[in-house]
Structure formats: C-alpha cells, structure tokens
C-alpha cells in the first residue's frame, strides 16, 4: 500500500515537473519528517491533536472517496474511527493522553496521505471535477495548523536567540489560552481554522499554486500576527486601566 509513496514532481510549481531520483527521495523524506513532527508539536493540550487529526484525515479521506481511491479512503475511515473513540476520553478534562507515539503515528500517516494526494491529484484529467490545480497549496491548507504552528515557533525562538528545539510557550494553542480560552475552546478554534483553510483551498481549486500558495501563506501569517497583537493588547490593558 505504501510502497509507491514518493514525491516525484513539484507538480508544475515554478515549471518543475519531474525531479531527479535523489532529490525525489530527499524531498519525500523531508516532507514526512516535517509533517510527522509538526503534528507531534501541536499535541500540547487536551483534544487538540485529535481534533486536527479528524479534520485533516477526514478531508483527505473524503477526497480519496470522491476520486475512487477506495483503499486510502477506507484507511482514513478506520483512522477516523479510532480517533473518535479516543477523543471522547481525551477531551477536557482528559482521562487519557495521546503522547508522542500516538501523535507521531497520526502525523506519519497524514504525511503519507499528503504524498498520495499530490500524486493522485496530478494524474487526474484536467477537466476532472475533483482535481485541484494548486495541489501543493491545497496540501498546505489541509495541514495548515501543524505546519504554521511549527514555522511560528521556529521563527519566535530564533528571534529570541534560542534554539528552535528549545521548549517554550510560543505555540498557537498557548497564545489562545493566554487570551483566556479553555483547552476545549482552543481545540475547537484551531479545528475551525483548519476547516476554514480547507474551504478556501476548495473555493480556489481552479487556480494554480502560484496564486493559491501566496494566498494561504499570507492568510496564515496574518492570523499569527493578529494573535500576537491581541496578546499584546491584553498584556497592556491592565497598565492602561491602572
């Protein structure tokens, strides 16, 4: 099932169609490592990783069903069932935790589905109803919460002169909790944000990566900056009131 998992092309981005073999393996490995670890990094509060997992795996599973890739659709459905059974006990106040192993397993499966989506989408006819012309941007939109959170913490830590691997509270879920949201509300907000980006990708499915990818990046950056601005405003408000 997973033997043919490899990114063999940039799918027309920057005019690059086919990748050399060594570069294809490198980009494939890099993609799997980044998505797997990004998903693990968002597992910082009750229900968050499970919520995002339901949204991302569910989106890919539904698309696989629409394009008649029933093996991957069934695989996604099985994983969704497992996450649904788990999230009941992982929701605030949680009785069990996902942990690094659980989060990285879901992240690795998600990375495989990303690669499968890219390859299957690329082979679909141009006039196919469910073909995304911006395949890379769509994959980024589906995985936007873990990817943007990872990029955010790397930038924040480096800007402070810290190692990007040094644990801190610069994650998006920590920022939302500083604004007063509970674990469950934070998980729901980030799950909704992920759904919103998927909806944006679907609405722009007829446009190419050179248009959709900047839109996704700008929107994700704007939301992160807005979050920081709201936190600064809240931190300053007591001083103003005093």
Are residues 36 and 147 in contact, defined by beta-carbon separation less than 8 angstroms? no
- How far is C-alpha 36 from the chain's CA centre? 10
Percentages of the chain per state (helix, strand, coil), in multiples of 5: 70, 0, 30
Percent of the chain residues topping a pLDDT of 70: 96
pTM for the model? 0.91
| The predicted structure's pLDDT at residue 97 | 85
| The predicted structure's pLDDT at residue 2 | 53
| The predicted structure's pLDDT at residue 89 | 92
Centre a 10 Å sphere on the Cβ of residue 16 and count the other Cβ atoms it contains: 11
Centre a 10 Å sphere on the Cβ of residue 168 and count the other Cβ atoms it contains: 11
Which tens digits make up the pLDDT trace of 92-133? 887 888 888 999 999 999 999 999 999 999 999 989 999 999
- How far is C-alpha 51 from the chain's CA centre? 11
**Gap between the terminal Cα atoms of the chain:** 63
Q: Where along the chain do its domains lie?
A: 13-241
Which tens digits make up the pLDDT trace of 29-47? 999 999 999 999 998 888 9
| The predicted structure's pLDDT at residue 173 | 92
Helix axes 183-203, 209-241, angle to 10 degrees: 150
Which tens digits make up the pLDDT trace of 141-172? 999 999 999 999 999 888 888 888 787 888 99
Closest listed residue to residue 190, CA positions, set 165, 225, 227, 155: 227
Which tens digits make up the pLDDT trace of 57-83? 999 999 999 999 999 999 999 999 999
Q: How confident is the model at residue 1 (pLDDT cuts 50, 70, 90)?
A: low
Residues 34 and 36: their CA atoms lie apart, in Å, by 6
**Which residues make Cβ contacts (< 8 Å) with residue 138, sequence separation at least 6?**
117, 121, 132, 201, 205, 212
196: tokens are 């919103």
């Amino acid at each position: 099932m997973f033997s043919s998992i490899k990114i063999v092309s940039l799918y027309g981005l920057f005019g690059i169609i086919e990748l050399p073999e060594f570069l294809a393996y490198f980009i494939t490995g890099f993609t799997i490592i980044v998505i797997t670890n990004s998903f693990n990094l968002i597992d910082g509060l009750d229900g968050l990783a499970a919520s995002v997992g339901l949204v991302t795996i569910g989106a890919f599973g539904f698309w696989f069903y629409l394009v008649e890739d029933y093996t991957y659709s069934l695989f996604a459905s099985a994983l969704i069932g497992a996450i649904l059974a788990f999230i009941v006990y992982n929701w605030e106040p949680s009785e069990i935790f996902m942990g690094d192993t659980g989060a990285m397993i879901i992240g690795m499966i998600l990375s495989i589905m990303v690669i499968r989506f890219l390859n299957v989408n690329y082979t679909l006819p141009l006039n196919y109803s469910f073909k995304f012309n911006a395949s890379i941007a769509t994959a980024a939109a589906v995985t936007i919460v873990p990817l943007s959170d990872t990029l955010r913490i790397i930038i924040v830590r480096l800007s402070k002169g810290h190692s990007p691997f040094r644990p801190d509270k610069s994650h998006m879920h920590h920022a939302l909790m500083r604004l007063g949201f509970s674990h469950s509300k934070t998980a729901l907000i980030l799950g909704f944000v992920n759904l919103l980006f998927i909806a944006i990708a679907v609405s722009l499915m007829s446009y190419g990566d050179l248009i959709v990818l900047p839109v996704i990046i700008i929107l994700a950056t704007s939301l992160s900056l807005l979050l920081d601005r709201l936190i600064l405003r809240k931190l300053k408000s007591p001083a103003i009131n005093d």
